[in-house]
Amino acid sequence: MTTATRLRAALMDRIIENGGLTEPEWIGAARAVPREMFARSFFLALPGTVPTRYRPVREGEPGWLEAVYSDGTLITQLDGRLRPDDVTGEVTGSPSSSSTLPSLVLSMWQRLRAEAGHRVLEIGTGTGYSTALGAHRFGDSSLTSIEYDPVVGGAAATALKEAGSAPRLIIGDGLRGDPDGGPYDRLIATCSVRYVPLPWLHQVRPGGKILLTLSGWSYAHALALLDVTGPGEATGRFLPGTTSFMIARPHDRPPRPALALLPGDERPSRIDPAKLDDWTGGWVAQLAAPSAERLGAGAEQVLWDVSTGSQARTARAPGGGWTVVQRGPVRLWDRVERAVQRWQAAGEPHQEAFGLTVSAAGQRVWLGSEAGPGWNLPI
Ligand X SMILES: C[S@@+](CC[C@H](N)C(=O)[O-])C[C@H]1O[C@@H](n2cnc3c(N)ncnc32)[C@H](O)[C@@H]1O
**Which residues make beta-bridge pairs with 75?**
43, 98
* Per CB under 6 A, 173 contacts ligand X: yes
> Which residues between 225 and 254 bind ligand X (CB under 6 A)?
245-246, 248-250
Q: Which DSSP letter does residue 179 get? A: T
* Smallest separation (angstroms) from ligand X to the CB of 132: 9
- Rounded Cα distance, 283 and 309, in Å: 22
* Per CB under 6 A, 140 contacts ligand X: no
Task: Kindly determine how many residues on this chain lie close enough to bind ligand X according to the rule CB under 6 A.
Answer: 27
- Determine which residue in the list 12, 15, 21, 105 makes contact with ligand X, applying CB under 6 A: 105
Per-residue contact track with ligand X, 84 to 103, x per CB under 6 A? Answer: ------------xxxxx---
* Per CB under 6 A, 124 contacts ligand X: yes
- Determine which residue in the list 57, 152, 220, 287 makes contact with ligand X, applying CB under 6 A: 152
- Determine which residue in the list 147, 178, 293, 337 makes contact with ligand X, applying CB under 6 A: 147
- Determine which residue in the list 148, 238, 283, 322 makes contact with ligand X, applying CB under 6 A: 148
* Smallest separation (angstroms) from ligand X to the CB of 20: 15
Question: What's the full length of the chain, in residues?
Answer: 379
Long-range contacts of 41-48 (CB under 8 A, 24+ apart): 41/76, 41/83, 41/84, 41/85, 42/67, 42/74, 42/75, 42/76, 42/84, 42/98, 42/99, 43/74, 43/75, 43/76, 43/78, 43/84, 43/91, 43/95, 44/74, 44/75, 45/75, 46/90
- Rounded Cα distance, 282 and 274, in Å: 9
* Per CB under 6 A, 112 contacts ligand X: no
* Per CB under 6 A, 36 contacts ligand X: no
- Rounded Cα distance, 147 and 330, in Å: 36
Residues within the interface to ligand X (CB under 6 A): 96-100, 105, 123-124, 126-127, 129-130, 146-149, 152, 173-175, 190-191, 245-246, 248-250
